[in-house]
């Protein structure tokens, strides 16, 4: 199967594909049952961003028991996500994610991936022609039937968060789901 996407949304499509690749087949949670906003507090996120954070509650992603909490700071957009009900026998090799990242690299984007046991963190610097999509740092942690993550997207490279600063937050999240 060949997928072709053109235009400025390609980086966004690739990022969405990377984070949703394993979360098909159930419905998104909304309202008070959204546990994604409980993964981290605004003050915990503020401690690594150096800016005030407003967590705006839930949003939904199609195709999964995916709970999303979005937030905003002066220097970044934040997304917390919690996916539950995953198949414990699912492919955890990361091959689908790696393929998507290779496409981003072929377009001229820069990608760095670091693994720390069950935690996988990545940075994505878009190609020059797609810089309006933002500079992304993501860390996720997987358990047998669930996955949680935090994604921070800055508007410029100078505000991009290094993996080393985001990783401690996902380590906190690990014990909260």
In a domain, 93, yes or no: no
Residue 42, domain CATH:
3.40.1000.70
| DSSP β-bridge partners for residue 39 | none
The two three-digit tokens of residue 168, written as one number: 């401690």
In a domain, 90, yes or no: no
pLDDT band at 100 (very low <50, low <70, confident <90, very high): confident
Which position has the token pair 């080393």? 164
Nearest to 21 by CA among 79, 123, 118, 100: 100
Query: In the prediction, which pLDDT does 107 show?
Result: 87
Query: In the prediction, which pLDDT does 65 show?
Result: 82
pLDDT band at 28 (very low <50, low <70, confident <90, very high): very low
The span from the CA of 79 to the CA of 57, in Å, is 10
In a domain, 2, yes or no: no
Q: Quick one: what percent of the chain has pLDDT higher than 70?
A: 78
DSSP class of residue 165? H
In a domain, 3, yes or no: no
In a domain, 56, yes or no: yes
pLDDT band at 96 (very low <50, low <70, confident <90, very high): confident
Q: Tell me how many domains the chain contains.
A: 1
Least confident of 99-103, 129-133, 157-161: 99-103
In a domain, 5, yes or no: no
- Residue 11 backbone dihedrals phi, psi, to 5 degrees: -60, -45
Q: What is the mean pLDDT of residues 75-104?
A: 86
- Packing angle between helix 95-106 and helix 10-20, nearest 10 degrees? 170
């Amino acid at each position: 199967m060949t997928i072709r996407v053109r235009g400025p949304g390609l980086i966004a499509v690739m990022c969405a594909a990377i984070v949703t690749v394993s979360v098909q087949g159930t419905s998104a949670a909304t309202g008070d049952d959204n546990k994604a906003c409980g993964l981290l507090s605004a003050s915990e996120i503020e401690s690594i961003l150096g800016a005030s954070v407003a967590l705006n509650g839930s949003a939904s992603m199609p195709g999964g028991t995916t709970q999303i909490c979005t937030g905003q700071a002066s220097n970044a957009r934040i997304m917390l996500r919690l996916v539950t009900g995953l198949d414990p026998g699912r492919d955890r090799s990361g091959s689908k994610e790696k393929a998507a990242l290779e496409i981003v690299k072929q377009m001229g984007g820069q990608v760095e991936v670091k693994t720390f046991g069950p935690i996988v963190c990545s940075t994505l610097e878009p190609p020059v022609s797609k810089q309006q999509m933002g500079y992304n740092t993501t860390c996720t942690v997987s358990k047998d039937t669930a996955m949680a993550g935090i994604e921070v997207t800055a508007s410029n490279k100078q505000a991009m968060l290094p993996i080393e600063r985001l990783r401690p937050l996902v380590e906190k999240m690990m014990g909260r789901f």
